[in-house]
Amino acid sequence: MNIDWVIMGSLLVLPLVGYAVYLGVQLRRQNHMQRELDRQVSEQRTNDDRDARQSVQIIARALLQKDLSHTEAAMRIAFLSQKIIATQDELESFKVFQQLAEATAYIPILDDWALLERSEQRRLTKEREKIEKDYGEFVIAGATSLSKLLLA
């Protein structure tokens, strides 16, 4: 009679042990996949940071050489700054570009600009130039700092 109970108990426990082993293997496989995905995301984030830093340097240098307007540089740098893992000093340098981009965000660009009448374009150009003048010193200081960004 005792042997019958042992056999019946074994018949109940063995499938449970097998299922537990199966779940353990699945969990290990899932953890491995998650670690690999985390590594890929980290690598992509590092690459994006490096590319964005390089682009910011180029834009800052172009601004300092007067190849770009303050507003155009600000819009581009403000966008790229979101892709950079920035230090506190870098965040301060980005802040002025973000502020200038926000201050001029209402001014149409590209095709929308071309659709405006000449008088409206002149009016908006004067407004933009005044805003750029207000931010001028800070933008140049920020561009000087950002032109020397460390590439990761």
The reported pTM is: 0.77
Whether 38 is in a domain gets the answer yes
Q: What is the pLDDT of residue 1?
A: 61
d(CA 80, CA 59): 10
Q: How many domains does the chain have?
A: 1
Q: What is the pLDDT of residue 17?
A: 93
Whether 106 has a pLDDT exceeding 60, the answer reads yes
d(CA 150, CA 152): 6
- The whole-chain average pLDDT of the chain stands at 93
Stretch 128-151: mean pLDDT: 91
Q: What is the pLDDT of residue 10?
A: 82
Whether 151 is in a domain gets the answer no
Tens-digit pLDDT profile for residues 50-70:
999 999 999 999 999 999 999
Q: What is the pLDDT of residue 20?
A: 96
Whether 43 is in a domain gets the answer yes
Whether 101 is in a domain gets the answer yes
Whether 152 is in a domain gets the answer no
Stretch 94-105: mean pLDDT: 96
Stretch 144-149: mean pLDDT: 88
Q: What is the pLDDT of residue 35?
A: 98
Whether 16 is in a domain gets the answer yes
Stretch 31-46: mean pLDDT: 96
Residue 35 tokens read as: 């670690």
Expressed as residue numbers, the domain containing 137 is 2-146
Stretch 19-29: mean pLDDT: 97
Whether 131 is in a domain gets the answer yes
Bigger pLDDT: 62 vs 1: 62
Stretch 128-148: mean pLDDT: 94
